[in-house]
Amino acid sequence: MERHIRTVDDVLRLLDGLFAPEADRWTSGAASWWDGFYADRDRPVPFFAAKPDENLVSHLDRGLISPGRALDLGCGPGRNALHLASRGFEVDAVDLSPAAIAWARDRAREAAADIRFHCGDAFALTPDGAGPGGPYDLIHDSGCFHHLPPHRRISYLALLDRSLAPGGHLSLTCFAAGRMGSELPDEAFYHQSRLHGGLAYTPRSLRRIFSGLTEIELRPMRDEPPGSPHFGEPFLWTALFRRPE
């Protein structure tokens, strides 16, 4: 007989277990689902191209965010980390997948970009030299948030609380309800033990979840044509939030 639940982290890990093997998509499991996803670099996946998010480029071009320390959360092959480094940011980039990090490092080497890459669980990393810490002037998330189960929003908000500097910005891209992702209520995911490929969000739900931050912009991502230098898909929301001073 085990009575091992003592802390919030114990509860979160228990809930993670309900979604195995899908839990490898947000926890540092031994065999990462994402390694298989990134194994073939020639797959025709839109966000495999070395193009930054159109909203990130727009925020920079309009002066809504300025160079400083940045964390690229769930960096994948490093396309946004590379752009941030090219615009003068000091960049930490983290991803669970060794295959993604290896690809991102190759790209950074080719571009002579100085980026600190970390392979692991961003929720578990601390500013002790083992990984990214903070505070960050910008945390950019292009597609990590919508792959988290509802209970891991607690971990996400805790990461923002300890790592986002006062006056810093969260730049977020996630599935838009009615266009992409599952619209089941939160509790239904626990009954089914599945995330159905990712969670859809409405502007109202995003504003509620990030109510501790100030909304700067929330809009659909622009649809960028194949020849564009930027990534953009209309089934995604883009949002920019600012942490109060």
Residues 6+ apart with CB under 8 A from 201: 146, 174, 175, 176, 177, 181, 237
Q: Which amino acid is at 199?
A: L
Give Cα 187 distance to the centre of its chain.
23
Decide if pLDDT at 30 tops 50: no
Sign of CA dihedral 166, 176, 186, 97: negative
CA distance 87 to 96: 25
Q: List pLDDT tens digits, range 118-147.
A: 998 888 765 444 456 679 999 999 999 999
Q: What CA–CA distance (Å, rounded) separates 104 from 83?
A: 12
Residue-range domains of the chain with CATH: 8-39+49-242 (3.40.50.150)
Q: Helix (H, G, I), strand (E, B), or coil: what is residue 87? A: coil
Say if residue 112's pLDDT is above 70. yes
pLDDT per residue as tens digits for the range 64-98: 999 999 999 999 999 999 999 999 999 999 998 89
pTM: 0.92
Residue 15 CA to residue 17 CA, distance in Å, equals 5
DSSP assigned state of 54: H
CA angle, 176 then 52 then 98, to 5°: 90
> How is residue 53 written in tokens?
């998010």
pLDDT at 228 over 50: yes
Query: Residue 173 has what pLDDT?
Result: 98
